[in-house]
A and B are shown apart, each in its own frame.
Chain A
Amino acid sequence: GNSVTQMEGPVTLSEEAFLTINCTYTATGYPSLFWYVQYPGEGLQLLLKATKADDKGSNKGFEATYRKETTSFHLEKGSVQVSDSAVYFCALRPDTGRRALTFGSGTRLQVQP
């Protein structure tokens, strides 16, 4: 079946540090890949997405590249801010069958001033 594995948190960084959150997936075919962000007490918001191999998704300074050869979709940001503190979820949507999202376990990011 489909699955997503992402690095465990919490990840604690100082403001302006470089961020990487690793995400790998297992799926047949050509799934679409997503990063969602959840702020305290809120639902999930789409951060970025990529729908085919070698696509790069980007938004608000965050980037992730769909690497089919390594089945990865790592999230990066060059300089984090305190306002980036949240929980980040990697997810995949299969290209056939039931097209519901399968999520990773989430990574909590804490950015200190």
Chain B
Amino acid sequence: EADIYQTPRYLVIGTGKKITLECSQTMGHDKMYWYQQDPGMELHLIHYSYGVNSTEKGDLSSESTVSRIRTEHFPLTLESARPSHTSQYLCASSTSNTEAFFGQGTRLTVV
């Protein structure tokens, strides 16, 4: 069983609000990821972290930002939420030699 946790599971929020999606893992993995999953199911990498204080943008442009101050914690922030940000956000972690372990996801709805 994967030890990676995302909170909240569901979030409904108004336009213009600032939000932070939390992701924590207890496996000591150096690499962490955020994927955005659209209603058509496709998964797109939006952020990637190699380790503490090392992050980069993914393949899909996103207005969100991330930070990696501690190995186990990789929060994603939206400064001003918009309806176009409505989606499912999946966090994952791995080492160079293991598969990626995924959290249960946060389903965000911006109204």
Q: How many residues of chain A get a CB closer than 8 Å to chain B's CBs?
A: 21
Q: Is B58 touching A106 in the complex (CB atoms < 8 A)?
A: no
Query: A23 within 8 Å of B by Cβ?
Result: no
**Residue in A34, A98, A101, A106 whose CB lies within 8 Å of B41:** A106
Residues of B close to A98: CB separation below 8 A: 48, 56
Cβ contact within 8 Å between B42 and A43: no
B53 CB contacts on chain A under 8 angstroms? none
Q: Among the listed A43, A93, A102, which residue makes an inter-chain contact with B103, where contact means beta carbons less than 8 Å apart?
A: A43
Q: Is A103 part of the contact surface with B, judged by Cβ < 8 Å? A: yes
27 inter-chain pairs at a CB distance below 8 angstroms, sorted by A residue, are A34-B99, A38-B41, A43-B6, A43-B90, A43-B102, A43-B103, A43-B104, A44-B43, A44-B102, A45-B2, A46-B101, A49-B99, A87-B41, A89-B43, A98-B48, A98-B56, A99-B31, A99-B94, A100-B31, A100-B33, A100-B48, A100-B58, A101-B45, A101-B92, A103-B35, A105-B41, A105-B42
B interface vs A, CB < 8 Å? 2, 6, 31, 33, 35, 40-43, 45, 48, 56, 58, 90, 92, 94, 96, 99-105
Interface residues of A (CB under 8 A from B): 34, 36, 38, 42-46, 49, 87, 89, 93, 98-103, 105-106, 108
Closest 4 CB pairs of A and B: A106-B41, A43-B102, A44-B102, A103-B43
Contacts A99-B31, A100-B58, A103-B42 given: A42-B48 contact, CB under 8 Å? no
Is A100 a contact partner of B45 (Cβ separation < 8 A)? yes
